[in-house]
Every structure is written in structure tokens, then in C-alpha cells.
């Protein structure tokens, strides 16, 4: 009984240790930073249902800020435009970061909003461009802009291009734009700026503001199915990199796994980004512009059927460090440098191997099949023991009926050289350094056999 209790305690301790280690290794949750870009142009002083637009907009925005203030891992900031210079004249630089990002600045944002007086024009492009500098440097932050406006760009700027530049540089995610009673004819003007919501009435504005905040804060789930040749998601244990499709920046790295239920593991990721996924098989597989459905479990299928390539040279210690270049059939790019004695996983297909022995051996169209191990055996080498009268200039060749093919150059400074070589027939051509006439060139044929030494005397 005591042994059983001791065994249970050991198991509990082991499981708790593993759990704590797993918790420590989990990536830190990204901080969400929301920049509110608020329209305080002259038109916001207009009446809209129960009150003036400015009063309705700030009342509901303050309500949202009250809620966000209670949440961890969220920071807010406030940029306002159209509130400093009256029109006319038109001041297209009338935009200011009134409250920068901080952990406890909700009170400041509320105070600024309460005392805003609409005065000026609508420099949306300039405000978005200036917003690029509102986000301090951060390695693990989601930067979100929520633009609240009742009008279109009034200056010469291009909000669409500015927004795209911000996204390409990875400064922000695609902005949210909430229109206050904007003419439906102008909706397309904002669709290229970001996720656009037009609100025809006060109730809709309140609802949309809540929806936008929910979208800004929520993550969703996804499952990457690595499909084998039979159409089954059985492939696993390979790194996957999620890139932002617009900026090209890395957003996530996961090593794919099959969970305890036998399914590809569920990932929690940001649904506001469209992704390019690279699965780092050999060769890599890429799927572009993947868009996730928010609030749903997304299934992402990627074809990645794989098999194994094993390389060995039985009974040879001389080749323990031998490398083999692996290329796709009929392509020059090196995919992998595989060691002798190792087994690697490759996508199903045909490959060419270049064994870096002396001489090099080319093996073409090696077929890799689903879940099958293809074994390539390298012939066991022999050893050529060269004994030279003096140091000199020498090269080894293979010989055919009409040509010599270079294999290896002898060291010019050594008189004794031992070279590990593949079995075969060779010719060595050598001239001592201290002789200045070609007539003293020595030609000698020799044969190397597997597992044997061959002495070649060049006197």
C-alpha cells in the first residue's frame, strides 16, 4: 500500500512539473493597443437625432472606454482632428495626439473628449499618417486604429493609400472606420481605408461601436490540416510560420502537432489578419491570403504528403561525416545537405542526390513515396595511399575511351597522402616540383576496391 501511495505521489509530482513547464513555455499574450482617431471637425456640431453628433459620439465612446479600462493587457490613446483651427481658412494639419498610450490614461481620454469643440476641417489622410508615430515600439503588440468620422477626406490626402502603407509596414492592422450618418454614396470611399461601418442612426452607432470593439479584442480558432497522399490530415511535427499577407511580417510560429484526441491541434490566432502560411517541409509548402471567419473554428487544409529518405554506407567509419546534397529532380537549387547515416523527411516526389565523396556520385530520380522510407546505400569506399618521391603537382582522374574526367588534386606540399575514394578505376598524373621539364610527368593507373587500401608509388 505504501508503495502504491508513493507511486501515485511521484506521478502527481511529474504531471504537475510538466504542466508548470508547459505554462511557462506558453508565449506571452500580445498587448492590444487601440488608437481612437476622433473627428472634431465643424460638421460634428450638426444635429443628429436626439443631440449633436459630437455629444452622441463622445458619450458612447466614453462608455466604451469605461469598459476597456477594466480589462488587462489593453492600452488606449486618443488622436483628434479638426478641433484646433476654425474654418475658414482650412488647416489640413489640424490633427493632434491628445492622449498618448499609457496603462492608466482612461481618465485623461474622457476629460479630453468631454471638452472637445468642433471647429475645423477633416484631414483624415494626414491624421492616419501621423498615427504611425503614435504607437511606441513594441515586439508583442496588436496595433488597432478606430476612426470615428461624419465626413470624407476634405484635404488633398489619400486615406486609402496611407492606410495601406501603415499595414504594409506592419504598424497597424487594417483600421476600423465608423461613419456617423455618412451619405451611402460615399461608402466605397471608406472601404479601401479599413473595415467600414456606416451608421444611419444613433442606435446603430452604439451597436456598431460595440461590435468593432469586440472584433478588435477577440481571437478565433483555427486548425491546420496537413494532408497526405490519401487525403487524410496525418502529417505533423513540422514548423508552420504565419505571415501577415500585407506586411509580410511573421505573426506566429507553431510546430504542428496531433493532439491527444488524434486531431490537428487547435490554434488561437488573430482573425483580423489575412495570412500566408509556410509549412517548413522539405521543400516548403505555401498557402497565401488565408482569411479567417471570426467566431468560428476555421479549417485550413494544406497538401503536404511526405515520405522518408535514408542514406547509409554499411560497414564504413570513413564516411561518418559524409554529406549528400539533395535537390528536386531537374532543379539546381539545394534543398538539403543530409548526413550519411541519417533519415530525413521530404515531400512526395522525385529527387536528385549528389554524394560528396571522391569522386562525387550522382543518383537521379530517387522516388519518395507517402510514409515509405527510401534507402540509398553508398558503396563502401577504399583508401588510396600515395607515396611520392617529392612534393609536386598531381591530379586524379577517371578515364573513358576518349577523355579524362578530373576527380581530385593532390596536396602540392605532401609526399605521403591517404585519400578515401569510391571503388573504381582511376589514373593519376603527377610531376615533381623540382623538375622543370614536362617529360618527367608520371602517369599511373590504379584501382580502388571497397574496404581495401591501395598503395600508389609515384617515383
pLDDT per residue as tens digits for the range 113-159: 999 999 999 999 999 999 999 999 998 899 999 999 999 999 999 99
User: CA gyration radius for the chain?
Assistant: 35
User: Quick check: 26 pLDDT over 70?
Assistant: no
At 332, the pLDDT band (50, 70, 90 cuts) reads: very high
User: Quick check: 423 pLDDT over 80?
Assistant: yes
Residue partners of 169: CB distance under 8 A and separation at least 6: 132, 247
User: Quick check: 17 pLDDT over 80?
Assistant: no
Residue ranges per structural domain of the chain:
31-217, 219-303, 306-377, 382-458
The answer as to CATH 3.40.190.10 being correct for domain 31-217 is no
- Identify whether the C-beta of residue 57 lies closer than 8 Å to the C-beta of residue 65: no
Strand partners, 337: 325
- Identify whether the C-beta of residue 83 lies closer than 8 Å to the C-beta of residue 120: yes
User: Quick check: 9 pLDDT over 70?
Assistant: no
Sheet holding 220-227, edge to edge: 266-269, 220-227, 297-303
In this predicted structure, what is the pLDDT of residue 183? Answer: 87
Average pLDDT estimate for 166-178: 94
Q: Count how many Cα atoms sit within 13 Å of the Cα of residue 245 in the half-sphere of its side chain.
A: 16
What grid cell was written down for 423? Answer: 571503388
Phi-psi region of 435 (alpha: psi -120 to 50; beta: other; left: phi over 0): beta
> Which CATH superfamily does the domain covering 382-458 fall into?
Carboxypeptidase-like, regulatory domain (2.60.40.1120)
pLDDT greater at residue 19 or residue 29: 29
Q: Which DSSP category does 42 fall into? A: G
Report the Cα–Cα distance between both ends of the chain, in Å, rounded. 83
Q: Indicate if 306-377 has the same CATH topology as 219-303.
A: yes
Q: Which DSSP category does 116 fall into? A: -
Helix (H) or strand (E) holding 159: helix 159-168
pLDDT greater at residue 27 or residue 87: 87
User: Quick check: 3 pLDDT over 60?
Assistant: no
In this predicted structure, what is the pLDDT of residue 185? Answer: 84
- Identify whether the C-beta of residue 254 lies closer than 8 Å to the C-beta of residue 239: yes
Tell me the average pLDDT of the chain: 92
CA-nearest of 183, 206, 209, 185 to 195 is 209
Q: Which DSSP category does 31 fall into? A: E
CA distance 29 to 269: 11
Average pLDDT estimate for 354-374: 96
CA distance 86 to 108: 24
- Neighbour count for residue 371 (Cβ, 10 Å): 15
211-214 — which CB contacts under 8 Å span 24+ positions? Answer: 212/146, 212/176, 212/178, 213/34, 213/64, 213/67, 213/68, 213/146
Specify the CATH architecture of the domain 219-303. Answer: Sandwich (2.60)
- Identify whether the C-beta of residue 173 lies closer than 8 Å to the C-beta of residue 202: no
pLDDT tens for 178-222 read 999 998 888 888 999 999 999 999 999 999 999 999 999 988 999
CATH topology of domain 306-377: Immunoglobulin-like (2.60.40)
pLDDT tens for 88-120 read 999 999 999 999 999 999 999 999 999 999 999
Phi, psi of 230 (to 5 degrees): -95, 5
Q: Strand ranges (DSSP E) for 271-391?
A: 275-279, 285-290, 297-303, 306-312, 323-328, 334-339, 343-347, 349-355, 361-368, 373-377, 382-388
CA distance 441 to 433: 10
Amino acid at each position: 500500500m505504501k508503495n502504491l501511495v508513493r507511486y501515485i505521489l511521484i506521478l502527481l509530482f511529474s504531471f504537475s512539473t510538466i504542466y508548470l513547464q508547459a505554462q511557462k513555455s506558453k508565449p506571452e499574450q500580445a498587448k492590444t493597443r487601440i488608437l481612437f482617431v476622433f473627428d472634431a471637425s465643424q460638421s460634428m456640431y450638426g444635429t443628429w437625432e436626439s443631440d449633436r453628433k459630437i455629444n452622441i459620439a463622445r458619450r458612447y465612446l466614453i462608455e466604451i472606454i469605461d469598459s476597456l479600462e477594466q480589462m488587462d493587457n489593453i492600452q488606449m490613446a486618443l488622436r483628434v482632428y479638426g478641433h484646433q483651427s476654425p474654418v475658414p481658412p482650412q488647416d489640413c494639419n489640424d490633427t493632434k495626439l491628445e492622449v498618448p498610450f499609457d496603462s492608466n490614461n482612461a481618465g485623461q481620454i474622457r476629460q479630453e473628449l468631454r471638452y472637445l469643440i468642433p471647429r475645423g476641417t477633416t484631414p483624415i489622410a494626414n491624421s492616419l499618417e501621423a498615427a504611425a508615430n503614435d504607437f511606441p515600439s513594441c515586439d508583442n503588440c496588436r496595433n488597432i486604429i478606430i476612426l470615428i468620422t461624419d465626413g470624407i477626406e476634405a484635404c488633398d490626402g489619400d486615406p486609402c493609400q496611407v492606410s495601406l502603407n501603415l499595414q504594409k509596414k506592419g504598424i497597424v492592422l487594417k483600421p476600423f472606420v465608423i461613419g456617423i450618418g455618412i451619405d451611402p454614396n460615399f461608402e466605397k470611399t471608406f472601404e479601401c481605408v479599413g473595415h467600414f461601418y456606416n451608421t444611419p442612426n444613433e442606435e446603430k452607432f452604439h451597436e456598431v461601436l460595440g461590435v468593432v470593439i469586440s472584433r478588435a479584442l477577440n481571437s478565433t480558432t483555427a486548425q491546420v490540416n496537413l494532408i497526405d497522399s490519401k487525403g487524410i490530415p496525418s502529417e505533423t511535427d513540422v514548423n508552420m510560420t504565419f505571415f501577415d499577407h500585407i506586411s509580410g511580417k511573421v505573426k506566429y510560429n507553431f510546430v504542428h502537432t496531433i493532439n491527444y484526441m488524434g486531431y490537428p491541434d487547435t490554434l488561437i490566432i488573430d482573425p483580423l489578419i489575412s495570412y500566408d502560411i509556410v509549412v517548413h517541409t522539405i521543400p516548403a509548402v505555401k498557402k497565401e491570403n488565408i482569411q479567417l471567419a471570426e467566431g468560428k473554428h476555421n479549417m485550413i487544409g494544406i497538401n503536404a504528403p511526405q515520405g522518408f529518405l535514408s542514406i547509409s554506407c554499411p560497414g564504413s567509419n570513413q564516411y561518418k561525416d559524409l554529406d549528400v546534397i539533395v535537390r528536386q529532380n531537374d532543379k539546381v537549387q539545394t534543398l538539403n545537405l543530409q548526413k550519411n547515416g541519417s533519415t530525413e523527411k521530404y515531400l512526395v516526389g522525385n529527387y536528385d542526390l549528389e554524394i560528396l565523396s571522391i569522386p562525387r556520385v550522382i543518383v537521379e530520380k530517387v522516388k519518395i513515396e507517402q510514409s515509405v522510407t527510401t534507402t540509398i546505400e553508398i558503396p563502401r569506399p577504399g583508401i588510396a595511399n600515395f607515396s611520392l618521391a617529392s612534393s609536386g603537382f598531381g591530379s586524379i582522374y577517371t578515364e573513358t575511351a576518349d577523355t579524362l574526367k578530373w576527380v581530385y588534386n593532390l596536396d602540392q606540399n605532401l609526399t605521403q597522402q591517404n585519400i578515401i575514394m569510391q571503388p573504381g578505376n582511376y589514373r593519376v598524373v603527377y610531376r615533381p616540383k623540382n623538375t622543370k621539364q614536362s617529360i618527367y610527368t608520371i602517369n599511373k593507373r590504379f584501382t580502388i576496391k571497397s574496404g581495401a587500401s591501395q598503395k600508389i608509388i609515384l617515383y
